[in-house]
């Protein structure tokens, strides 16, 4: 809406549900070209080495795919502006913001409560669509009013501030990246070495925020779910489109929680051997 000109075209990489939803919405405003997709393998990998059309107004990417457990590790060199949805992994690692023309993210994973949205945008890409948008939907409206055009949700913003102060106090995104890497490496190591489990995402594209995995014997799912419940672990059920299990390891999750889960996985395998 803010970037797609009348009679213009936008390029999208379809890497999961949220990318698909973005494509659906973009089609309401103009021509949308899907330049790459991983739908052929149920979004278990991140598309790579695709051609980016120079006549498109922007390239849209989704950095992390929560449902399928994949994450972009290296961003493509693009001849056109790059837009990225970083809702589920922003502030989990350092990002070279200069490589993007617009970054947007919901706060609800690593930043704060749902209901707050972060947008980082280069001013010079705005105001070129030739269309008149509703006032609230214009980024320039919020830029001109220092994000205070409407009454802000004060409490969620305060929680975001407190969360970012905590993040800064432990060393910022560089420090949390080390912790997140430890968590992910610990869990994926157990998934790969434990004969009871197997990962669903391509190894090179595995998300460090959301690890998706299956039991090699699906008939044992009820037993494993029972063990998880007995140990106070909830929310590990995978999305219905992939099944199995999904362990989310956002910034707030301590390393100790991953240790508990991997210990349970080891013990479960020994019991069922």
Question: How is the chain split into domains, by residue range?
Answer: 9-167, 173-272
9-167: which CATH topology?
3.40.640
| Token representation of residue 156 | 């969620």
Would you state the pLDDT for residue 240? Answer: 82
Q: Which of 271, 268, 263 is nearest to 190 (CA)?
A: 263
Judge whether 48 counts as a catalytic residue: no
Q: Which of 59, 95, 60, 61 is nearest to 79 (CA)?
A: 59
User: Which member of 89, 93, 101, 109 is catalytic?
Assistant: 109
Identify the CATH number of the domain defined by range 173-272. Answer: 3.90.1150.10
* Average pLDDT value for residue range 161-188: 98
Residue 185 vs residues 19, 65, 66, 72: alpha-carbon distances, Å: 26, 18, 17, 17
Would you state the pLDDT for residue 75? Answer: 97
Judge whether 124 counts as a catalytic residue: no
User: Which member of 85, 89, 101, 205 is catalytic?
Assistant: 85
Average pLDDT over the chain reads: 96
Our CA dihedral for 131, 124, 34, 36, rounded to 10 degrees, sits at 180
* Average pLDDT value for residue range 144-151: 95
Would you state the pLDDT for residue 239? Answer: 85
Confidence of residue 270 (pLDDT cuts 50, 70, 90): very high
User: Which member of 18, 89, 93, 101 is catalytic?
Assistant: 18
Confidence of residue 273 (pLDDT cuts 50, 70, 90): confident
- What is the DSSP-derived secondary structure letter of residue 77? P
225, 152 contact by CB (below 8 A): no
Judge whether 18 counts as a catalytic residue: yes
Position 242 pLDDT exceeds 90: no
Phi-psi region at 232: left, alpha or beta (left = phi > 0; alpha = psi -120 to 50): left
214, 245 contact by CB (below 8 A): yes
Position 272 pLDDT exceeds 90: no
CA 81 from centroid of its chain's CA atoms: 20
Q: Which of 241, 262, 255 is nearest to 18 (CA)?
A: 241
Quote the pTM value: 0.95
């Amino acid at each position: 809406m803010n970037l797609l000109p009348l009679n213009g075209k936008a390029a999208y990489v379809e890497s999961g549900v949220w990318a698909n939803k973005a494509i659906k919405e973009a089609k309401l405003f103009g021509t949308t070209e899907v330049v790459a997709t991983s739908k052929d393998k149920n979004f278990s990998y991140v598309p790579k080495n695709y051609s980016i059309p120079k006549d498109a107004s922007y390239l849209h990417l989704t950095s992390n795919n929560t449902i399928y457990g994949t994450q972009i590790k290296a961003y493509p060199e693009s001849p056109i502006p790059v837009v990225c949805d970083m809702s589920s992994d922003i502030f989990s690692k350092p990002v070279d913001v200069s490589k993007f023309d617009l970054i947007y993210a919901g706060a609800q994973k690593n930043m704060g409560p749902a209901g707050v949205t972060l947008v980082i945008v280069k001013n010079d890409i705005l105001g070129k669509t030739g269309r008149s948008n509703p006032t609230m939907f214009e980024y320039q409206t919020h830029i001109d009013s220092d994000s205070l055009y409407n009454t802000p949700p004060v409490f969620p913003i305060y929680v975001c501030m407190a969360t970012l102060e905590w993040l800064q106090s432990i060393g910022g995104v560089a420090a949390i990246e080390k912790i997140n890497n430890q968590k992910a490496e610990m869990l994926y190591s157990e998934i790969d070495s434990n004969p009871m489990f197997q990962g669903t995402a391509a190894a090179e594209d595995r998300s460090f925020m959301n690890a998706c995995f299956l039991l090699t014997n699906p008939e044992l799912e009820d037993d494993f779910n029972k063990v998880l419940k007995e140990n106070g672990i909830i929310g590990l059920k995978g999305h219905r489109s992939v099944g199995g299990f999904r362990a989310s390891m956002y910034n707030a999750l301590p390393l100790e929680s991953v240790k508990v889960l991997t210990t349970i996985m080891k013990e479960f395998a020994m019991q069922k051997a």
